[in-house]
């Protein structure tokens, strides 16, 4: 189907296309398609796509974002786990030979197999948001930047400063990426509307990470810190270490065991990680 740019933001058109392919949306897969041309235009603008790059879309759905972004990139890999939507995508993207429709679960594809310096985009299904972002962190060598839609509460926690609103995923992400909430998105702009509002997040990989500890040690430190949200740092460490070991680590990392773990700035988490892995390279 040619000339789909903009039309797929119409609930009427979306309903007709899906009906023609015999597709009924499955809420358990987080299938809520963007139906607002202004926000779609803003997403494309935020990608800063320059033409000579590969974009990977997580959960391409019916192709709303796909057909809007395709003219801006050299190649667009549209990943979709629901095989019923593959024929829909093949129809809606037919006018864009640079689009490669890839059936399957995004979490199962190594990012390095999809391209280099990838631009990652997508309206992330809420149920797999954490999995996608952790994958992005761990396979960041293949990624340049990302623009993704997430649940509003999740987005706010991703960028929250140290304190009661901080999240393990947010601290993990900001160790390697600059993260910002660029727009809050009401549930009413989706078809069908989800139960909660969303947020548009822009991520840029840092030239140099904010942490220097080896990744396993840094992730272990995060696990310890966030194992008990309302516990002091010392009590959290005592969940996995002896009192003597916990006190030694706190002293070497120059940390006050009376503070709560979520209140630690990144540099303090990095010091804790180095102390947990004294053989690591600084």
The answer to whether residues 158 and 239 belong to one domain is no
Q: Which domain holds residue 237?
A: 215-276
Using one digit for the tens of pLDDT, what is the confidence trace for 119-131?
999 999 888 999 9
Domain count within the chain: 2
The answer to whether residues 95 and 230 belong to one domain is no
Whether residue 282 is contained in a domain is answered as no
pLDDT of residue 279: 58
Peptide bond preceding 81 in cis form (omega within 30 of 0): no
The answer to whether residues 193 and 226 belong to one domain is no
Q: Is 276 annotated as a binding residue?
A: no
pLDDT of residue 37: 93
Pairing of strands 118-123, 177-185: unpaired
Which parts of the chain have pLDDT scores under 50?
1-2, 281-282
What does the block give as tokens for 198?
A: 């969303």
pLDDT of residue 190: 94
Q: Residues 69-90, buried b or exposed e (16+ Cβ, 10 A)? A: bbebbebbbbbbbbeebbebbe
Whether residue 2 is contained in a domain is answered as no
Q: Is 59 annotated as a binding residue?
A: yes
The answer to whether residues 91 and 13 belong to one domain is yes
Where would I find the H helices in 159-242? Answer: 168-174, 215-225, 233-238
The answer to whether residues 223 and 199 belong to one domain is no
Please state the pTM of the whole predicted model.
Answer: 0.92
pLDDT of residue 5: 56
Residue 220 neighbours by CB under 8 Å, 6+ apart:
273, 276, 277
The answer to whether residues 251 and 192 belong to one domain is no
pLDDT of residue 50: 85
The answer to whether residues 127 and 166 belong to one domain is yes
pLDDT of residue 251: 97
Q: Is 80 annotated as a binding residue?
A: yes
Q: Is 224 annotated as a binding residue?
A: no
Using one digit for the tens of pLDDT, what is the confidence trace for 145-156?
999 999 999 999
The answer to whether residues 184 and 240 belong to one domain is no
């Amino acid at each position: 189907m040619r000339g789909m740019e903009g039309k797929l933001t119409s609930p009427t058109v979306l309903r007709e296309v899906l009906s023609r392919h015999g597709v009924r949306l499955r809420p358990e897969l987080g299938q809520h398609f963007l139906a607002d041309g202004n926000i779609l235009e803003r997403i494309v603008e935020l990608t800063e796509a320059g033409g000579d790059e590969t974009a990977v879309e997580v959960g391409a759905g019916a192709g709303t974002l796909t057909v809007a972004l395709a003219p801006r990139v050299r190649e667009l890999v549209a990943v979709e786990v629901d095989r019923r939507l593959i024929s829909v995508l093949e129809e809606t993207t037919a006018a864009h030979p640079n689009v490669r429709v890839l059936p399957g679960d995004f979490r199962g594809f190594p990012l390095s197999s999809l391209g280099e310096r990838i631009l990652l985009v997508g309206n992330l299904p809420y149920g797999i948001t954490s999995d996608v972002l952790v994958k992005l962190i761990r396979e960041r060598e293949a990624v340049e930047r990302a623009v993704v839609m997430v649940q509003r509460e999740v987005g706010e926690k991703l960028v929250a400063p140290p304190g009661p609103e901080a999240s393990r995923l947010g601290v993990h992400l900001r160790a390697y990426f600059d993260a910002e909430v660029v727009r809050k998105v009401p549930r009413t702009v989706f078809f069908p509307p989800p139960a909660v509002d969303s947020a548009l997040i822009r991520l840029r990989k840092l030239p140099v990470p904010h942490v220097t500890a080896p990744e396993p040690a840094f992730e272990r430190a995060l696990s310890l810190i966030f194992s008990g949200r309302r516990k002091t740092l010392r009590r959290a460490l005592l969940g996995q270490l002896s009192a003597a070991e916990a006190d030694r680590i706190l002293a070497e990392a120059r940390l006050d065991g009376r503070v709560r773990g979520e209140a630690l700035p990144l540099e303090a988490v990095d010091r804790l990680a180095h102390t947990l892995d004294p053989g690591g390279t600084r």
